Amino acid sequence: SQDPDLMEACRSADIHEEMRQLFGLPDRRAAKVGLFGTMYLGGPQILLKKAQKYGVPMDWKQAERLQGRVMSMMPDYFRWAYSIADERVVDGLFGRVHHIPLGMDEGHMGREAVNAPIQGGAADICKFQMLALHRAGYKVVAQVHDSVIVEVGESDLADARVDVPRIMEGAAPELDVPIKVEVK
């Protein structure tokens, strides 16, 4: 979307913690539920369903207030999201074309149209990261969502703690926001 406010938030230390503090939410999970539920164009009912699923206390008025504030903070993002919500073919971040399946209600199809370039872009970035790690000689043994498991020998652990984040953070240089990698 190139929303300058969203891009600046992504450059901050932790967008979910910032949202938690800004909205006075009980924990980081509550902030993630509110932010993602709103950004994927779910209405208050979707937000409440997600909040209940994750054990986040929230009522209808809180959901509406949270969504209104999130939308007012990132107007360019929501202009972009609503502009593609009716599309059945959307372009991904790196050129991949996403076809939105028919047969869903309009709201669900709209959320899928917004979700596809975001989640598809994240998946592409993860693939770029794994390829970059492989090319650097690291053994990638698994990927789960946005986590990559790399196997290294005990004697290489100190170097890997420095190299792996550097390699992964540089795997998609065309992005306008940094990729933050945490080693565990």
All structural domains of the chain with their residue ranges = 1-77
What residue spans of the chain are helical by DSSP H?
4-11, 15-23, 28-39, 44-53, 60-73, 75-84, 106-135, 157-169
Strands 97-99 and 139-144: unpaired
Tokens of 135: 């090319």
- Summarize the confidence of residues 143-167 as an average pLDDT: 95
pLDDT at 138 over 90: yes
pLDDT > 70 in the chain, percent? 99
What is the end-to-end Cα distance of the chain in Å, rounded?
31
pLDDT number for residue 126: 95
pLDDT at 128 over 90: yes
Average pLDDT, the chain: 90
Between CA 131 and CA 64 the distance in angstroms is: 42
Residue 129's pLDDT band (boundaries 50, 70, 90)? very high
Using alpha carbons only, give the angle 151, 157, 10 rounded to the nearest 5 degrees: 80
- Summarize the confidence of residues 156-173 as an average pLDDT: 96
pLDDT number for residue 47: 85
Contacts of 173 (CB under 8 A, 6+ apart): none
Reference 30, options 9, 57, 49, 7; nearest CA is: 57
Instruction: Label residues 91-111 b or e (16+ Cβ within 10 Å = b).
Output: ebbbeeebebeeeeeeeebbb
pLDDT number for residue 22: 79
Reference 147, options 163, 119, 123; nearest CA is: 123
Reference 169, options 136, 144, 141; nearest CA is: 136
Residue 9's pLDDT band (boundaries 50, 70, 90)? confident
pLDDT at 97 over 90: yes
pLDDT number for residue 80: 96
35 or 13, greater pLDDT: 35
Q: pLDDT tens digits for 43-89? A: 899 888 888 888 878 889 988 988 998 899 899 999 999 999 999 99
